[in-house]
Structure 1
């Protein structure tokens, strides 16, 4: 049974994210769904190889999963507007779990690719819906913290279920783990039924103007507002693709005796650092009243982590130095994850919350897959240190884009009904963010100067009418 839905005004009066109806159910549902995904992530390729399949088919099972994930993410915002969050998330959890039973028929070419593709559809819809739903459920002033808590639940789920899948498969067989994954997804579907029956906000209506001069200020395209934060998370995700694919093997080369154990520990360290710093980044954003404070820190730290990995592998230093590298990279990636998502929510109107989530998730997933592929080719040519070093360089490119974005258009936001405008409309939020910069006029839409970067024009002598938040 769905939880009672509150109005936006009632939500803004809540004094804690935990009082938001449906928030706890969403966290449990997302943790269970990601658990179902994590259980089979390393198991399906292993089952293919154990069945005598080729390396290409083993990799293809993951590849087609990610392909249908990204394709589904593109259409999910429309689903959230038409049928709502509750049905979409129930369907996504169902599609993520039930097709796992199809592997019981075998892991030959046709069944493994077909059922992996179906599961990718469920995962794609889920990842977009869960991030956008949090923005709908919690008060605006707690959005950073709520996003961080969501990251903690996802991270803990992966840390628990990734090794559990391999252990269950090893001790009880592959058929057992398929059943466990389907059952875990069923738990997610049941919890999704308790999510309030909300629909994503409809697309914004054509604007009206109080003064003719307002028409002179151009509307900024969505892609210009989100390209730089999307690039930030994509570049770190590419580095993560290299870390998740090659760090255990690199550790094993340095220490053939204990390398297998240390490799798993390193990935856990990366995941733990991500959780902690993603949450911390959200808390900082809430206290300041706007995102962006830890973006530079995250990109620099992530870049340093990859650079240290390259140096340690190249010089053959102790694997303990890789612990430091794993902490640095995980901390940086966690900060950038939260900052990029909050920046998209902050710049876009409420009617495009689902699009922001779709863009963020697509950047994350595409970056991870692209990093594994491209940096894998580099690893074949220049060894693992070359892969990590190239990853650091890619992150540096994203860092330069963020610097340029900050200098040329620091206050790039949509012209009305955006996160900053909504914060100023909520009395409780205004009190919570009294230390943030006070801007009297809302007309801060930047004028495009380049394809990616825009500059804020001089403030006009009139005040723009803000659209009411409904």
Structure 2
């Protein structure tokens, strides 16, 4: 594996540059359909629930496939596995533009979800295997920035493109992961492919237990973030408050996930993880309070604060998880981390909505979205000490 001096930029490593290129192309393909495909399904007469199910189908397939990606990597190597995932994510995408019927859209979304699972697990694993010792936080930050930028730019851009020019251009953008296949195969021939079939066997159960605490904290934080992203536009459907809040949340999350990696390499996760959880809780609580009081001047800065903590927790929990396992178990740690992230995102959209619509007496008004978000903030605050418990072994 290529090693660099501590002060040398990681961008000088060919593997890091290839990883960023693959990540950008792969996540652009994923993000292009994240909001635009439900819109496309609705154009064909799908209800709101049915339209949302195309995303659900993709994420269910993603979570299910993530459990087997470590075995896939061990058998075929990281680069070849990544190439197969990119093909599964990108190749079926043009089929989405052929119909608005829900059945075919669900099938294609599920197939694409299997490819996205490989991209997420292998991509985060490579931040560890490609980076020099002591610079895993920085590498995870670069990877996180590439992921975050696609969400900030491509998700709203694809919706605008679909509404103005039709869904065909969006479907073509969603095929971009295919262009990353050559880079993935070059990584298979280089030092990114660390698989040794004759080496020690991974200890999956032990690895899962080792990373359970930081990944549980990640799940709770992503649950809260998912609730904010899903229900801020529903609580404030008119005006610019919700779009501006989501833009601030996404932008600060991407920058924080990038920059906190440099700090993590210097001081570790012991203080940073609990502090990041507190920042997230404060931001989500601020959004809840601003919505309850009708104060846009509180909602916007609070959304930015929530994004800072949200992005930091993503980076720090990934670094913490990798620090707790042997190199042979890195794909398993990556799979558990991604399962926690995607699982928290999926559960948050459902659980926060259920709580917001719940009525304590049955006849009274529901508790509402601000109260549900406040409960999320409290949950994140309670989970914050999990970062301290983990960090004692760093």
When the two structures are superposed, what TM-score results if normalisation uses the length of structure 1?
0.77
Does structure 2 conserve the Cα–Cα contact (< 8 Å) formed by 1:105 and 1:111? no
Match of residue 93, structure 1, among 70, 79, 86: 86
The reply on whether 1:51 has 2:33 as its aligned counterpart is no
Shift of 1:331: 0.7
Q: Specify every segment of 5 or more residues in structure 2 that has no aligned partner in the other structure, as ranges.
A: 359-366
Does structure 1 conserve the Cα–Cα contact (< 8 Å) formed by 2:26 and 2:180? yes
Tell me, what secondary structure is at the counterpart of 2:265? helix
Structure 1, 339-348 or 266-275: larger mean CA deviation: 266-275
Does structure 2 conserve the Cα–Cα contact (< 8 Å) formed by 1:201 and 1:350? no
Q: How does 1:59-458 map to 2 (within 5 A)?
A: 59-182=52-175, 184-197=176-189, 198-200=193-195, 205=200, 221-252=206-237, 256=238, 259=239, 261-288=240-267, 290-317=268-295, 319-381=296-358, 382-403=367-388, 405=389, 410-411=392-393
Describe the shift of the 1:206–1:238 C-alpha distance in structure 2 as closer, same or farther (beyond 3 A).
Answer: closer
Shift of 1:357: 0.8
Describe the shift of the 1:205–1:189 C-alpha distance in structure 2 as closer, same or farther (beyond 3 A).
Answer: closer
Does structure 1 conserve the Cα–Cα contact (< 8 Å) formed by 2:92 and 2:108? yes
Does structure 2 conserve the Cα–Cα contact (< 8 Å) formed by 1:21 and 1:196? no
**Residue by residue, what CA displacement relative to the aligned partner does 1:39-78 show, whole Å, maximum 9, x if unpaired?**
1111111111111112232121111111000111111111
Describe the shift of the 1:392–1:203 C-alpha distance in structure 2 as closer, same or farther (beyond 3 A).
Answer: farther
- Separation in 2, partners of 1:51, 1:109: 8
Tell me, what secondary structure is at the counterpart of 1:411? coil
Tell me, what secondary structure is at the counterpart of 1:195? helix
Shift of 1:107: 2.4
- Separation in 1, partners of 2:78, 2:199: 19
Does structure 2 conserve the Cα–Cα contact (< 8 Å) formed by 1:12 and 1:140? no
Shift of 1:327: 1.4
- Separation in 2, partners of 1:329, 1:76: 31
Describe the shift of the 1:121–1:384 C-alpha distance in structure 2 as closer, same or farther (beyond 3 A).
Answer: same
Does structure 2 conserve the Cα–Cα contact (< 8 Å) formed by 1:303 and 1:395? yes
- Separation in 2, partners of 1:127, 1:325: 29
Counterpart of 1:432 in structure 2 is: none
Shift of 1:203: 8.9
Shift of 1:148: 0.4
Does structure 2 conserve the Cα–Cα contact (< 8 Å) formed by 1:203 and 1:351? no
- Separation in 1, partners of 2:56, 2:255: 29
- Separation in 2, partners of 1:203, 1:320: 60
Shift of 1:402: 3.4
Shift of 1:204: 6.4
Does structure 1 conserve the Cα–Cα contact (< 8 Å) formed by 2:214 and 2:320? yes
**Residue by residue, what CA displacement relative to the aligned partner does 1:372-402 show, whole Å, maximum 9, x if unpaired?**
0111111223211022112112212311433
- Separation in 1, partners of 2:91, 2:273: 39
Q: Specify every segment of 5 or more residues in structure 1 that has no aligned partner in the other structure, as ranges.
A: 1-7, 208-219, 413-470
How many residues in Structure 1 have an aligned counterpart in Structure 2? Answer: 381
Shift of 1:196: 4.2
**Residue by residue, what CA displacement relative to the aligned partner does 1:66-95 show, whole Å, maximum 9, x if unpaired?**
100011111111111111111111111111
- Separation in 2, partners of 1:278, 1:104: 34
Max Rg structure: 1
- Separation in 2, partners of 1:57, 1:128: 28
- Separation in 1, partners of 2:319, 2:88: 28
